[in-house]
Structure 1
Amino acid sequence: MSERSRVAILISGRGSNMAALIYAARAADCAYEVVLVTGDRPDAPGLDLADAEGIPTARFPRPAAKDKSQFFEALTEALEAEQVDLIALAGFMRIIPADFVEGWRGRILNIHPSLLPKYKGVGTHEAVLGARETSTGASVHLVSNELDSGEVLGQVEVAVLPGDDPKTLAERVLIAEHQLYPRILSEYAARPFNSEWIEGQVDGLARQLPEVGRKTSHGSPGWSVGGEKGKLFAIIANHHHGEDAVGLLIKASGPDEMTGLIEAQPDVYYWPKYYGASGWLGVKLNRRDVDWGQVRDWLERSWRACAPPRLTKLMRAADEF
């Protein structure tokens, strides 16, 4: 795996989940490192703990009631200064503006003390007990502009015991949170370098195109167009012949284009061994900054280059319409 993801933790209070994330990051196999702890309360006790553990902190004035923009502008500057990859909310009790969420789309995680989509928002444990549930739990999810509604990345179940009250239930759920959050954050941080996850992303995009099937090329997974005997238009090369890339091989227009792209963006494009001579261009996908929209465009372009005329004719007609 490449270097670890740089994580910022946002808190508002004592930061018990923050502490769990910090200590988990000290394991050699953890896929993230904590590079900043901050929040909306400069006197939050969790900041003192982060200072004591040698984690950089930023203490901002509490956001003004009428205008919170200054706080989020200062927060953005701090995150960019630390070159943060992911944000982990850990008891951050502040509604996040839509433009901030959009700017960090897919890169903000939160933990919630219920088995989402059940019991969103506050008063979770009271709601669980009021509904006489026999179990509850915790969920780690991506943050979206709808409260507690982003993609759920992982959950853990916790039994509700006879005689539980909101305090006793919260204490037990918190133990589960401390186990769940570091594991899910590490798994999510490692996604960009996981060949199975990368293949799944490519598969989802490729199958949006007409008459696409799966096919192998010398043992490597690939995608063909036009039925079982159709042409390959995309191949995953997983560290092929010692290369450091999990690459997507797609058809380029020729050596001139391939050379130009590789020279201009060597961190993105490469000349794949054995395949390059046949007109296949390599796109490195084991990167954090992959533009999946660009990958989709390359897949469609390569599909068009390999598809039978009956399919490209229909697509051209659709484009004109």
Structure 2
Amino acid sequence: MVDKTPVAVFISGSGTNMAALLYASRAAGCPYEIVLVLSNNPDASGLKLAQAEGVPTFCLPHKGIPRADHDALMEEQVRASGARFIALAGYMRILSPEFVGRWEGRMLNIHPSLLPKYKGLHTHDRAIEAGDTHGGCTVHLVTAELDDGPVLGQTPVAIIPGDTGDSLAARVLFAEHQLYSRTLAAYVARENSAEWLLEKVRTLTAALPEVEERESHGAPGWRVGGKYFAHFNDQHHGTPHIALLVKTSGQDELAALIDQAPEMWFRPAYYGASGWAGLVLNRADVDWDHAADWLRRSWAAVAPRRLAAMMEF
């Protein structure tokens, strides 16, 4: 059974979206768990809810603390909790670019509009004033620009005659509670999805010269100059691993890799006898730059000399 992915949640007020994430996480099939709830507001009622549910909390008022310093102090607690993702749930602070950069691709936010429409505040009033047929909500990745990250999911909510900003907001909140937990679950689960991992590998192999993808023993493989330099292993031969198979210099290097990092490397059935190593991909915090380095090295081991000369290692 795969461990649930630890997530920290930032709030500033009632924390209803945090509560929705928390209660969704209690379902047996949910791939994440809430390990810490943080706030910049000591009066945030969501902190009491989290405490009552046995979730650790941390609060640090931001007044008088430079923004980047406040973010860094909050981040210390996040890292100490073991959280690998951050969910912003009504956190009413603009985050420093340094903090956002450190969590690129691992911090999500929910916004009460159908982005890219109506970034910022007063989104429901603005949608009504514009004559829109629908308001709604969006879950997106956080980037340095406000409400501008890649969209992960949206739910439209109809605007009915006589709606006010408050009445529309009340219905959108129901949609937020459902959308956020569903989107967060899908996003963190990607790391154990063979389909998503295969696309990551394909992106890396596409950056190498004259690469051809061709099936090998029923699985995707990549060749250069007619020779294979990488294979994709999806739990083949009874192993629990989804892995990238790359060439090593031989059995000694293969054994050394496994000895130094057994959670990262393994000896694949059939291929291992020829010195191929399995780099495990369905694990926490895969270093894709490291995977790319091994792909380049494996490619260079079999590439024709005229091609290998094009690459710098």
TM band (smaller chain): over 0.9
Distance (Å, rounded) in 2 between the aligned partners of 1:209 and 1:99: 31
Match of 1:303 among 273, 292, 299: 299
CA distance in 2, matches of 1:135, 1:223: 47
Q: How does 1:90-239 map to 2 (within 5 A)?
A: 90-226=89-225, 230-239=226-235
1:256-295 equivalences in 2 (<5 Å): 256-295=252-291
Bigger shift: 8-17 or 64-73? 64-73
Which amino acid is 2:184 matched to? L
For 1:254 and 1:118, the matched residues in 2 are separated by 56
Name the counterpart of 1:40: 40
> Alpha-carbon deviations, 1:92-123, whole Å to 9, x = none?
00011111112222211101112222221222
Q: CA deviation at 1:280?
A: 1.3
Q: How does 1:23-34 map to 2 (within 5 A)?
A: 23-34=23-34
Q: Distance in 2 between matches of 1:48 and 1:5?
A: 23
Q: CA deviation at 1:154?
A: 1.4
Q: 1:66 to 1:84 in 2, by over 3 A?
A: closer
Mapped contact 2:67–2:95 kept (Cα < 8 A): no
Instruction: Indicate conservation of the 8 Å contact 1:6/1:34, yes or no.
Output: yes
Distance 1:172 1:55 in 2: 28
Aligned-partner Cα distance in 1 for 2:114–2:253 = 50
| In 1, Cα distance between equivalents of 2:26 and 2:255 | 42
When the two structures are superposed, what TM-score results if normalisation uses the length of structure 1? 0.92
2: distance between equivalents of 1:278 and 1:117? 52
The C-alpha deviation readout for 1:64-86, integer Å capped at 9, x for no partner, is: 24624453333122212211111
**Cα distance in 2 for residues equivalent to 1:233 and 1:184:** 36
- Residue 4 in structure 1 maps to residue 4 in structure 2: yes
- Cα deviations across residues 139-187 of structure 1 (Å, max 9, x unaligned)? 1111111111222111122222222221111111111111100011111
> What is residue 49 of structure 2 aligned with on the other side?
49
Secondary structure (helix, strand or coil) at the match of 2:37 reads: strand
The equivalent of 2:79 in structure 1 is 80
Aligned residue identity for 1:245: H
**Is the CA contact 1:241–1:273 (under 8 Å) kept in the aligned structure 2?**
yes
> What is the DSSP-based 3-state SS (H/G/I as helix, E as strand, rest coil) of the residue aligned with 2:221?
strand
SS in 2 for 1:48: helix
Aligned residues: 313
Distance in 2 (CA, whole Å) between partners of 1:128 and 1:204 is 39
- AA in 2 matched with 1:123: H
What CA distance in whole angstroms lies between the structure 1 residues aligned with 2:222 and 2:149? 30
Task: Give unpaired runs (5+ residues) of structure 1.
Answer: none
CA distance in 2 between counterparts of 1:66 and 1:117 reads 32
Partner of 1:21: 21
CA–CA distance in structure 1, aligned partners of residues 191 and 123 of structure 2 = 33
User: What amino acid is aligned across from residue 91 of structure 2 in structure 1?
Assistant: F
Counterpart amino acid of residue 35 in structure 2: V
* 1-structure distance, mates of 2:72, 2:289: 28
Equivalent residue letter for 2:13: G
TM, length-normalised to structure 2:
0.95
For residue 130 of structure 2, what is the amino acid of its counterpart? Answer: A
> Could you tell me how far apart the structure 1 residues matched to 2:120 and 2:143 are?
13
What is the SS of the residue equivalent to 2:120?
coil
Whole-angstrom distance in 2 between the partners of 1:225 and 1:100: 40
Q: Is the 8 A contact 2:68 2:99 kept in 1?
A: no
Amino acid at match of 2:261: Q
Supply the AA of the counterpart residue of 2:302: C
User: C-alpha distance in 2, partners of 1:80/1:15?
Assistant: 21
Aligned to 1:253: 249
Tell me if the contact between 1:63 and 1:70 (Cα under 8 Å) persists in the aligned partners: no
Question: Which ranges of 4 or more aligned residues in structure 1 deviate by more than 6 Å?
Answer: none
